[in-house]
Structure 1
Amino acid sequence: MLQTILTGILCGALLGFVMQRGRFCLTGGFRDMYIAKNNRIFYALLIAICIQSVGVFGLIQIGAITYHAGSFAWFGTILGGYVFGIGIVMAGGCATGTWYRAGEGLIGSWIALAAYMLASAVMRSHRMDGFNGYIKSLSTEHNSISETFGLSPWLLISLLVLATGILVAKELKKPKLKMATLPPRKTGLDHLLFEKRWHPFATAVLIGLIALLAWPLSAATGRVFGLGITSPSANILQFLVIGDDKYLNWGVFLVLGIFLGAFIAAKGSREFRIRAADAGTSVRSFGGGILMGFGASIAGGCSIGNGLVMTAMITWQGWIGLSFIILGVWTASWFLYVRPKRRAALQASAVS
């Protein structure tokens, strides 16, 4: 049990620290793809996926771990991914983003996190067995894309790495925007860790390595999987309510570590402060958390479980789930950001 606690918290703390300091927000990144036509965070996600994919399949190749993707519950992945995408815009952050922003002191993220944990736990209760069973029955035999087409996963990984390299190279060639910066207050390692602005691609490399590290650390405790947020979040609430130690697995300490690492990063960079949310934001955060918990549960993963891990495993669940998460983000962004701006612009032009 000690190994489970220590390695889980360590991996989570590293992830929370890196995501907080790198401001690695997938919700904002997916939203910017639509509103600002800025794909930088999406390309950064691809970098993290590639690093994890090469590493995990290398571990499988040498027999260090074994993994089978199973069947593909297509209906749950599509519906759940889309609902989850809408929810993370309402909540102001995805599952991991909500955990690390809660570590920064955002009350709205605490509200969203509580609702997310509640909905995830409810979806795993016995009362939902019939519904969950029906969702899982709507599936195809192969979840692995390579198995579907009878190809080597290394061929698909090579194509992914090549495509990512081309996109990243084009992005790096774009002219850099000059931003006004204050003189550094810190020097040396303190400046690098707690003050210097981190490039999203450098952040993505670190996230990819942490995602890879999660596999052997988790497997050593009997949990053969990488990063995961939804089930562990539900397990925390189930443990608090029921008190059964079976819910305290490696994933639980992973998500607690994310909170701890983000708190350390926020304190060190002077970005931690308790920020209250108004009534409207609180209600929207709670509703977004409910949609997040429901969507991630039927989709089999969140923006990390599906969008980072299952994509790296070259599965339909990962790539289709990620696509519908992005589509959900775009839909919610239109209603919450684009449409109000257009309406305000029309009203302003009518008055003038």
Structure 2
Amino acid sequence: MWSRPGTGSAGAALAALGLALGGVAAERGALAALTRQISGVGLATAGTSSLPALIGLPAWLVILIALVGAGGLLWRLPPPSQTPGRWGWPVTGAIIGLLGVGAWVSGSRAGWHWGLSITGPSRSLLEAGLLGSPESFTWGAVMLIGIPLGSWASARLRGPFAWRAPAPAALPRRFLGGVLMGAGGTLAGGCNIGNALTGLSILSVHSLIATAAIAAGGVLGVRVSAWRDRAPP
């Protein structure tokens, strides 16, 4: 989401603002009480937070099983369509993985003890701008600023830059969707980046559950949208 404003998407910029507002509302605003209430409900995991410790297997074996399972899934699924002039998914995935490793290394040197994340830095950036609190301007907030700047530079290399906006009727939906993403990411302790990309890399049980729920919610949302489009007016 944060990369698309750099390419001129006004709708994505509005959604990113909604994400930050929704995250702040869930952390310390109108939805904070709900966040505390939901956070108090959990599953007993014998005090463990990592998957190897929970199931009693060494980390290398869990990683090996995950790699074999992911490889089998990729082998069975049809390959995604390739856009001419764009990177394929293997190259893109490898680069994102390297960026994730770089985030762990550079972030730890700046006192940021979590890798790539979007929801938390979105809250921090908004709080730093509204409250003027230096402690909110974290490594994650600086990283977040770099995302649209990098996508803008990439867009400029490909051609002229121009803002584009969706139909006016779609603007409230974009903003509300961003608010729900920010609130949901705060409730879940991270979004798809913080949980699926970063949390799973350290075999976090929390991130595994959150990622499964994100995937299930995405599938449900697509099916509901398709059903609504097929429904008679």
- Could you state the TM-score of these two structures normalised by the residue count of structure 2? 0.89
Deviation, structure 1 residue 293: 0.8
**Which of residues 133, 158, 166 in structure 1 aligns to 2:72?**
166
Does residue 135 in structure 1 map to residue 38 in structure 2? Answer: yes
In the alignment, residue 106 of structure 1 is paired with which amino acid?
S
In the alignment, residue 166 of structure 2 is paired with which amino acid?
A
Q: Which residue of 1 aligns with 2:227?
A: 339
Q: Which residue of 2 aligns with 1:47?
A: none
Does residue 100 in structure 1 map to residue 29 in structure 2? Answer: no
Deviation, structure 1 residue 100: 0.6
1:43-99 Cα deviation digits (max 9, x unpaired): xxxxxxxxxxxxxxxxxxxxxxxxxxxxxxxxxxxxxxxxxxxxxxxxxxxxxxx10
Distance across 2 between alignment mates of 1:271 and 1:169: 39
Q: Which residue of 1 aligns with 2:14?
A: 111
Gaps of 5+ in 2: none
Deviation, structure 1 residue 131: 3.5
**Which of residues 15, 23, 29 in structure 2 aligns to 1:120?**
23
After superposition, residues 3-42 of structure 1 pair within 5 angstroms as none
In the alignment, residue 116 of structure 2 is paired with which amino acid?
L
Distance across 2 between alignment mates of 1:170 and 1:330: 19
Deviation, structure 1 residue 170: 5.0
Deviation, structure 1 residue 162: 2.1
Cα distance, 1:178–1:162 mapped onto 2, change above 3 Å: closer
Q: Which residue of 2 aligns with 1:22?
A: none
Deviation, structure 1 residue 137: 2.1
Q: Secondary structure at the match of 2:7?
A: coil
Q: How many residues align?
A: 230
Distance across 2 between alignment mates of 1:281 and 1:293: 19
Q: Is the 8 A contact 2:104 2:115 kept in 1?
A: yes
**Which of residues 131, 145, 155 in structure 1 aligns to 2:51?**
145
Distance across 1 between alignment mates of 2:178 and 2:66: 32
In the alignment, residue 65 of structure 2 is paired with which amino acid?
L
In the alignment, residue 158 of structure 1 is paired with which amino acid?
L
Distance across 2 between alignment mates of 1:268 and 1:216: 29
After superposition, residues 1-352 of structure 1 pair within 5 angstroms as 98-125=1-28, 130-139=33-42, 140=44, 141-169=47-75, 196-270=85-159, 272-336=161-225, 338-343=226-231
- The structure having more radius of gyration, on CA atoms, is 1
Distance across 2 between alignment mates of 1:311 and 1:213: 16
Q: Is the 8 A contact 2:6 2:151 kept in 1?
A: yes
The alignment yields a C-alpha RMSD, in angstroms, of 2.3
Q: Is the 8 A contact 2:19 2:179 kept in 1?
A: yes
Give me the identity figure in percent. Answer: 27
Deviation, structure 1 residue 334: 2.2
Q: Secondary structure at the match of 1:241?
A: helix
Q: Secondary structure at the match of 1:99?
A: coil
Q: Is the 8 A contact 2:26 2:34 kept in 1?
A: no
Distance across 2 between alignment mates of 1:226 and 1:104: 24
Q: Is the 8 A contact 1:308 1:318 kept in 2?
A: no
Cα distance, 1:243–1:146 mapped onto 2, change above 3 Å: same
Distance across 1 between alignment mates of 2:8 and 2:39: 37
Distance across 1 between alignment mates of 2:150 and 2:6: 8
In the alignment, residue 310 of structure 1 is paired with which amino acid?
G
1:225-262 Cα deviation digits (max 9, x unpaired): 11011111111111111111000110001111111111
Q: Secondary structure at the match of 2:231?
A: helix
Cα distance, 1:288–1:129 mapped onto 2, change above 3 Å: closer
Deviation, structure 1 residue 134: 2.7
Deviation, structure 1 residue 291: 0.5
Cα distance, 1:342–1:132 mapped onto 2, change above 3 Å: closer
